[in-house]
Amino acid sequence: MSEWIKGAFNASDYILRDIIDNVPTTALTYPTNDPIEHARISQLIEKKRQTLPYSNGVGLNDNKCIMTHTPAEVGFDASQREWCYVPMKNPKLDTYVSNMFMSNIGEMMVIQTRKFPDNKGLAGLGLNLSFFSQWVKKVHIGRGGVVAILDRHFNLLARQPESPQALGKKAGSPILEQFMTSQLKNQSFSHTSPLDGTGRLYNIRKVDNLPFVVIVGLANTDWLASWYKQVAISIFITALLWLMGWFILRHYQDILEQKSELEEISNKDQLTGLYNRHMLSKTLEKEYHRAKRMQGTFEVIILDIDNFKQVNDTYGHNVGDVVLQELALLMKKSIRLSDTLGRWGGEEFLIIAPIKDHQNRSSMAENLRTKIEAYNFTTVHTITASFGVTRYQEGDCINSLIKRADDALYDVKKQGRN
């Protein structure tokens, strides 16, 4: 709960930072010299406030704590309010969260403020007690348990089970008072509640850098009953663990198979079933480092279907997809097991072919070119492809290698394709 509350105030502080970034300090004047600009800023800060649930007010003050923008009372002197005079009198404080107080309209609330640069004013957000009630409602610790939030003045901000008549009233005790003045962050103790007379085991914790204390109390009747159940539960858990172990062993192989399938999916192009660009990039990097380490080489072939846009425009994208699938299958049957084939993007494919220095693999591209040209594709019957071929050379990087293949492909396209 402490972390929830801290996170919520971090969120509201982001809103205050946003307001400060969008409001010039020259606008922090009362009375205003520019009613139109004043109305614009008032609408702006109200719009920002509405993004935060449970906030019930927003306002701006000048460096003397005079309210310059607020849906409530513009011109109100807040110099006696804790949320204004504490940060304004302390140059080291950029942001401040107040203890609970009663507002001008008779509503119990807390205010979070953040200073404008150079101490020229404040932006503040008001939060009603419903803000705190949302957290205690999320926790259930038994029939007789209690969860509460107090401020550093011992004002009760929220309680579960609900006790509306107690909200805003002092709920202190000698133990709490001693805890508040100590350096302890949390403390446990047994105590009988002054509100309902129930004996409980309590833990109290200060919320870091905020004036709040979270109290969790487990009723004696609940935790004793729970303790008696532990033996039976332990036996049950032991048997359950044995059963779970059996199921884990039984399904271990299934999990490994599913993992393998997921890895396969993440590396494959959905349409063609070939490797995708991500997997091709990994293979390129692997081959690059191998060639660099072993002073070897490998070949990179980029091929692009000629006039593929005309296929899509003439026959539709479904036919274009079939062409890509048939081409992928044709190429897959035409390369070696040691070669890596994948879809580079769109109608472009890439082949990575490990070779030895004395091997001449450039004929692979010509072999594929003639096979593609001769193949009878569904509906479109004939297509051609253009190829860019290069080989790793000492001093190359992956980008230079790909660029050289791309440039070769581009030259072929200019010369008439195929």
Report pLDDT digits (tens) over 291-348.
999 888 999 999 999 999 999 999 999 999 999 999 999 999 999 999 999 999 999 9
Reference 171, options 146, 140, 134; nearest CA is 146
**Is the predicted pLDDT of residue 279 greater than 90, yes or no?**
yes
Q: What is the DSSP code string of 288-349?
A: HHHHHHHT-EEEEEEEEETTHHHHHHHH-HHHHHHHHHHHHHHHHHHS-TTSEEEEEETTEE
- Tell me: cis bond preceding 87? Omega within 30 of 0 counts: no
Beta bridge partners of 351: 301, 341
**Is the predicted pLDDT of residue 196 greater than 80, yes or no?**
no
**Mean pLDDT (the chain, rounded):** 90
Q: Which pLDDT score is estimated for 379?
A: 93
Q: What is the pTM of this model?
A: 0.52
Q: Enumerate residues 6+ apart whose C-beta is below 8 A from 172.
A: 150, 154
pLDDT band of residue 214 (cuts 50, 70, 90) is: very high
Beta bridge partners of 191: 200
Beta bridge partners of 353: 299
Residue 402, both tokens? 């790909």
pLDDT band of residue 361 (cuts 50, 70, 90) is: low
What percentage of residues in the chain have a pLDDT greater than 90? Answer: 64
pLDDT in tens, 215-273: 998 888 887 776 777 877 888 888 888 988 888 888 887 777 777 777 778 899 999 99
pLDDT band of residue 355 (cuts 50, 70, 90) is: confident
How far, in Å, CA of 121 to CA of 94, rounded?
11
Sheet containing 340-345: give its strands across.
Answer: 340-345, 348-355, 297-305, 385-391
Q: Which pLDDT score is estimated for 234?
A: 87
Q: Give residue for tokens 């992956």.
A: 398
CA distances from 77 to 56, 221, 346 (A): 19, 51, 66
How far, in Å, CA of 110 to CA of 202, rounded?
25
**Is the predicted pLDDT of residue 130 greater than 80, yes or no?**
yes
| Residues 301/365, Cβ–Cβ less than 8 Å | yes
Higher pLDDT, 286 or 164: 286
**Is the predicted pLDDT of residue 396 greater than 80, yes or no?**
yes
Q: Residue 234, Cα to own-chain centre: how many angstroms? A: 38
Q: Which pLDDT score is estimated for 362?
A: 62
Task: State the virtual CA torsion across 245, 248, 250, 255 in degrees, nearest 10.
Answer: -170
Q: Phi then psi for 54, rounded to 5 degrees?
A: 70, 5
Residue 135, both tokens? 């957290």
**Is the predicted pLDDT of residue 357 greater than 70, yes or no?**
no
pLDDT band of residue 192 (cuts 50, 70, 90) is: confident
DSSP state of 125: E
**Is the predicted pLDDT of residue 146 greater than 70, yes or no?**
yes
| Residues 372/382, Cβ–Cβ less than 8 Å | no
CA distances from 386 to 302, 352, 361 (A): 8, 16, 17
Q: Distance from first CA to last CA of the chain, Å, rounded?
A: 68
Mean pLDDT of 89-98: 93
Q: Phi then psi for 265, rounded to 5 degrees?
A: -65, -40
Q: Which pLDDT score is estimated for 233?
A: 85
Q: Which pLDDT score is estimated for 180?
A: 87
Mean pLDDT of 139-143: 80
